[in-house]
Structure 1
Amino acid sequence: MQPAVNVLLDSFVGVNWGSSNFRAYRIAADGTLLDEWSQPSGVSGLGREGMANLMNQLSDRWPNHGSVYACGMVGSNIGWQEAPYVEAPSNLKDVARASIGTTIGTVPVRLVPGICCEREFDGGPDILRGEEIELFGLASIRPDWSGLVALPGTHTKWARFQEGRITEFFTSMSGEIFDKLTASGLLASIVDGEAADGPEFLEGVRQSQEHQLRLGTLLFGARARVIRGLLERKHSASYLRGLLIGSEIADALTIYPQLKGNSIPLIGNSVVCKMYASALTSLGVRAWIVDSREACLAGFRALHVATNS
């Protein structure tokens, strides 16, 4: 009789596979990163054959890879197979139970479902897919944490976490709006340089809090400021970013007024998170940053344990 195999003692693989990028982590049983591999090969640019080939390459790179978990758009209706959303409020066990076993290429994979919610404050719907791993990673790193969490990025998520459960969230597209506005169109003509924290950025944040004018008018006002010599072209990207991030934070403060005077963790890229942290600090909210990769590794390990316990 063969002895039972304890998969919790083996290394495993976590894959964050979005619409634009593929990131894979080989993780030791204790959560230590053993190796990582990334490709600009999101599911939106790959057919089924391309996705299968990429997973076969992963298997060639890590022949004894152990269990493989994949989150993100690979489990969406444009990915390999749809893993239906779990309804919030939900905890890690709920997500683990709803994961779907499949085979991509020659590799057995568990597809991680996203989470959907109906927001308490307005009854509106929202969805996330991929961020749940980072959120549960934070819960693993800080099991005592309850409150609001932000994941700054192209589509920033503001999620409410309570006793290990994601209860509700809302999404802001301010990152994508900034990218589009500064790449083409009228405002692109006034932008010269990258956005950065500083006086112009914080002025944009301040302007967004006034509530005298809405965002559409404030954004055009950035062009008027440059044309009239009130804003240097090299600082216009920072001002625009301040308007957008500030408007997003204004929404968060309206929805969760208790955030004022409290603290919030920010999960993501350090450069973008630092701008959010600066904006929040200027508005009386303390912020601390959790590296996205650290949260991912902790989240995948927690998922691995939850799936096999």
Structure 2
Amino acid sequence: MTDWLAVDWGTSHLRVWGMSKGGTVEARKTSDAGMGRLARDGFEPALLDLAGDMLGAGNTPIIVCGMAGSRQGWAEAKYVAIPCAPPGIDRATRVSTNDPRLSVHILPGVKQTNPADVMRGEETQIAGFLALNPKFDGVICLPGTHSKWVHISAGEIVSFRTFMTGEMFGWLSSQSILRHSVAAQGWDADAFAQAVADTLSRPAEMAAKLFSLRAEGLLNDLDQHVARARLSGLVIGAELAAARPYWLGQHVALIGEDAVCKPYADALSAQGLPVERTNTERMTLEGLKAAFKTNRRETP
């Protein structure tokens, strides 16, 4: 039995931590029961299947972040407009449940009107980073399927932009004509660095350079591992070129898994930027803990 549950509910995963009131992790469980596999009436059973044995007889606070709060999720948790601090439990959506032991609060996402942009889940990772680094002023980059660049000042999200870089790389490498030229694994650091530098200097040529990967494979037997690294460098280089107003001259913190963050860290370091790397799961948990502390302060 635990005092409360911290829940990270993404599109493809469900992570639950059983927590003590002091913030110690008593248990951790994961499953593939992500939002994308569930109808609205399937969320409560999925949570009980995974973490029912963490519940006591009484009422258990459950704080949820991520896609469970999307329009297709358990209950829609409306976005909070920037500028704002990462939203806490005071702005969460309370979910009605059949099991009386559950007291479920879903944290909202964050929205930006112009240019139009949204985040859901990343704001909790940002909250976790700021809980550990309360004096941070700078830029947080969250690489991934949809990479985000977030300007932080005085503890608030001031602005952000999202780039479909990871999704583009996945599609280009596995479904486009380049799938015949790009290896599924492997790397070449020099090819990556050169592609980033070329695209930062001439981003308008990216589309032509993408087709050159196919042509060089046919005409010059371009190594497929080199092609994979070059493809990554082209799409990340284009992202960095567009996001230059965010990172130029800034202190940049990366939140993500090592395999995803390393190319960004290498590319930014080549531009002379100091880069701090942190782990997604830890930042998510710290953000949920910060939300729970807010709940304790506001509950008589």
Task: Kindly indicate whether residue 174 of structure 2 is the aligned counterpart of residue 183 of structure 1.
Answer: yes
Are 2:117 and 1:115 aligned? no
Alignment of 1:296 onto 2:287: no
Q: Report the counterpart of residue 208 of structure 1 in structure 2.
A: 199
Q: 1:83 aligns with which of 71, 77, 82?
A: 77
User: Partner of 2:144: helix, strand, or coil?
Assistant: coil
Distance 1:212 1:264 in 2: 22
Return the alpha-carbon distance in structure 2 between the equivalents of residues 24 and 60 of structure 1. Answer: 11
Q: Is the 8 A contact 2:63 2:107 kept in 1?
A: yes
CA shift for structure 1 position 40: 1.3
Matched residue SS, 2:243: helix
Per the alignment, residue 66 of structure 2 pairs with 72
Percent identical residues: 29
2:86 counterpart of 1:98? no
Distance, in Å, in 2 between the alignment partners of 1:213 and 1:125 is 23
In 1, Cα distance between equivalents of 2:144 and 2:13? 14
1:23 corresponds to which residue? 15
Q: Does the aligned pair in 2 maintain the 1:51–1:104 contact within 8 Å?
A: no
1:185 CA drift (Å): 2.2
- Counterpart residue number, 1:6: none
User: Aligned pair count?
Assistant: 292
Which runs of 5 or more structure 1 residues have no equivalent in the other structure?
1-9
Considering only aligned residues, what root-mean-square deviation do their CA atoms show, in Å?
1.9
Residue 91 of structure 1 deviates from its aligned partner by 1.2
- Give the letter aligned to residue 252 of structure 2: I
Which amino acid in the other structure matches residue 275 of structure 2? A
User: Partners in 2 of 1:287 and 1:105 — Cα distance?
Assistant: 46
Q: Deviations over 1:191-250 (max 9, x none)?
A: 123254611111221121122633322221222232232731122111111111111111
Structure 1 letter corresponding to 2:196: V
The verdict on how the C-alpha distance between 1:305 and 1:239 changes in structure 2, with shifts beyond 3 A counting, is same
Between stretches 35-44 and 168-177, larger displacement belongs to 35-44
For residues 16-73 of structure 1, the C-alpha deviation after alignment (integer angstroms, 9 at most, x for no partner) is 1122211112233333332221111211211133222112224423123831111111
What is the deviation of 1:89?
Answer: 0.9
Match for 1:67: what amino acid? P
Residue 287 of structure 1, CA deviation:
1.0
CA separation of 1:176 and 1:104: change in aligned 2, threshold 3 A = farther
TM-score (norm 2): 0.91
Of stretches 55-64 and 185-194 in structure 1, the one that deviates more from structure 2 is 55-64
Equivalent residue, structure 2, for 1:5? none
2:149 to 153, 158, 166: 158
Is the CA contact 1:86–1:114 (under 8 Å) kept in the aligned structure 2? yes
- Kept in 2, the 8 Å contact 1:196–1:275? The answer is no
CA distance in 2 between partners of 1:20 and 1:301 (Å): 22
Q: 1:70 to 1:262 in 2, by over 3 A?
A: same
Question: 1:194-273, aligned counterparts within 5 Å?
Answer: 194=185, 196=187, 198-211=189-202, 213-229=204-220, 231-253=222-244, 255-256=245-246, 259-273=247-261
CA distance in 2, matches of 1:224, 1:273: 29
The C-alpha deviation readout for 1:172-191, integer Å capped at 9, x for no partner, is: 11101111111112000101
